[in-house]
Chain A
Amino acid sequence: MKVIEPHIHMIARTTQDYERMVRMHTVACCEPAFWAGYDRTSSQAFFDYFTHISEFEPTRAAQYQIEHYCWICINPKEADDLVLAREVISFIPEFLHKPTVLGIGEIGLNLNTVNEMTIFQEQVELALKYEQLIWIHTPHLKDKLKGTRMMLDYLKGHGKVNPEKVCFDHCEEHTLKMIVDAGFWAAMTIYPVTKNSPPRVVDALETYGIDHMLVDASGDWGPSDPGTLHDAIFEMKKRGHKEEHMETVFYNNPCYFLGQCKKFRPSPSLPKEKAWAV
């Protein structure tokens, strides 16, 4: 069974992770622009970072027969500085035409500040102007519920945002229902301590179904493991779920969402109406 990793920060991972991913049948991975573990000192540092994830990482991944895609944005952890954020936003459009850039992301909130929300809104407008997909970072821990609600209310009230083209990531049990009820895509991140475990991800699939649902392992510079995506597949097997449902969640669903960007090349094995009929 082929697997797509919808959210991983490969800039922070070793080539051994690419080796492990290809051995686990990962055929494509997607890298949203995010915080580097420290605050960058200038907008030029973002320009270099965007160049790295849109030009160098695809060549590194290609050595392991993995297609590497990315998302471009000013991330929420560095969005509170409005001057810096707007400098970065000014050159995002020149990256959007690159052959592996899928859209604007991961935009969102971190501490739910007024400035973060302003930059989130400005980047939603940028995505609409350039007809881009949107990948959303929801805050961690105690800030997640409120931050998710703030962004969801804004997008629902916007009037021009198509939920089919927007994915909320890092969803958990207390935020999933509001997102799927509003018609948006929901992604769950498997990450030690602060996000989901493989069993809880499968619990959510059993509760909310497999349509419009994505799962990612979110490997980054912290304690994390691309292999946890495959732990979730094993968890579904352990519970006796059908392989066709696993393929829907871990391969076809990423194709359905990401394939709305014509640059994304993997194609689904089934039409979604058939794949989602459980």
Chain B
Amino acid sequence: MANTPTKPVLASPRTAEKLLDIYFLDMRSALLETAATLDRIERAENGSDIFRDPRIGKLVEACEILKDGKKNRAEQFLVLFSDPLE
């Protein structure tokens, strides 16, 4: 179970627009590296078969976290890749 969000207690002095300006290219780069790495794996021998590996499935699930609009994306991501508590 993911932790519930808490309010920021050291508020960011920057506006959301400014933070997007700062981090947009970093985010674009991180996603591009993931896309290129999947292409690299697929080009290799047995490339199409490896996409059945559960680790790839987890990555696809992680992409859903980005899309669902809920907060605490990083926390949800880490919980997805964790052993269950029980």
Q: For A174, give its contact among B11, B19, B79 (CB under 8 Å).
A: B79
- In the complex, the answer to whether B10 meets A278 with C-beta atoms within 8 Å is yes
Known: A174-B2, A206-B12, A207-B9. A146 touches B83 (CB 8 A): yes
Interface string of B72-86 (1 = CB under 8 A from A): 101101110111110
- In the complex, the answer to whether A173 meets B75 with C-beta atoms within 8 Å is yes
- In the complex, the answer to whether A173 meets B10 with C-beta atoms within 8 Å is no
Q: For B85, give its contact among A149, A173, A278 (CB under 8 Å).
A: A149
Residues of B within 8 Å of A239, CB to CB, are 12-14, 19, 22
Residues of B within 8 Å of A278, CB to CB, are 9-10
Whether, in the assembled complex, B8 has its beta carbon less than 8 Å from a beta carbon of chain A, the answer is yes
Residue of A nearest to B73 (CB): A173
- In the complex, the answer to whether B78 meets A145 with C-beta atoms within 8 Å is yes
Whether, in the assembled complex, A200 has its beta carbon less than 8 Å from a beta carbon of chain B, the answer is yes
Whether, in the assembled complex, B48 has its beta carbon less than 8 Å from a beta carbon of chain A, the answer is no
Known: A142-B81, A145-B83, A178-B3. A173 touches B13 (CB 8 A): no
- In the complex, the answer to whether B85 meets A209 with C-beta atoms within 8 Å is no
Output the least CB separation between A263 and chain B (Å).
31
- In the complex, the answer to whether B81 meets A141 with C-beta atoms within 8 Å is yes
**Docked complex: B1-37 residues within 8 A CB-CB of A:** 2-4, 6, 8-14, 19, 22-23, 26
Residue of A nearest to B15 (CB): A240
Residues of A within 8 Å of B81, CB to CB, are 141-142
Q: How many residues in A have their beta carbons less than 8 Å from beta carbons of B? A: 29
Known: A149-B85, A239-B14. A206 touches B79 (CB 8 A): no
Q: How far is the CA of A276 from the CA of B42 in the complex (A)?
A: 51
Q: How far is the CA of A172 from the CA of B78 in the complex (A)?
A: 8
Interface string of A73-98 (1 = CB under 8 A from B): 00000000000000000000000000
Q: How far is the CA of A199 from the CA of B75 in the complex (A)?
A: 14
Residue of A nearest to B81 (CB): A142
- In the complex, the answer to whether A174 meets B78 with C-beta atoms within 8 Å is yes
- In the complex, the answer to whether B83 meets A142 with C-beta atoms within 8 Å is yes
Q: How far is the CA of A120 from the CA of B46 in the complex (A)?
A: 44
- In the complex, the answer to whether B13 meets A240 with C-beta atoms within 8 Å is yes
Output the least CB separation between A138 and chain B (Å).
12
Output the least CB separation between B85 and chain A (Å).
6
Residues of A within 8 Å of B72, CB to CB, are 173
- In the complex, the answer to whether B8 meets A207 with C-beta atoms within 8 Å is yes
Whether, in the assembled complex, A20 has its beta carbon less than 8 Å from a beta carbon of chain B, the answer is no
- In the complex, the answer to whether B82 meets A205 with C-beta atoms within 8 Å is no
Residues of B within 8 Å of A203, CB to CB, are 74
Q: For A209, give its contact among B3, B9, B23, B75 (CB under 8 Å).
A: B9
Q: How far is the CA of A144 from the CA of B78 in the complex (A)?
A: 9
The 10 closest A-B CB pairs, nearest first, are: A240-B13, A209-B9, A145-B82, A177-B3, A173-B75, A174-B78, A173-B74, A206-B10, A142-B83, A174-B75
**A residues near B, CB below 8 A?**
112, 141-146, 149, 172-174, 176-178, 199-200, 203, 205-210, 238-241, 245, 278
**B residues near A, CB below 8 A?**
2-4, 6, 8-14, 19, 22-23, 26, 72, 74-75, 77-79, 81-85
Kindly list 16 other residue pairs between chains A and B, CB separation below 8 angstroms, not including A142-B81, A173-B78. A141-B81, A142-B82, A173-B75, A174-B78, A174-B82, A176-B3, A177-B6, A178-B3, A199-B23, A208-B6, A209-B9, A238-B22, A239-B22, A241-B10, A245-B10, A278-B10
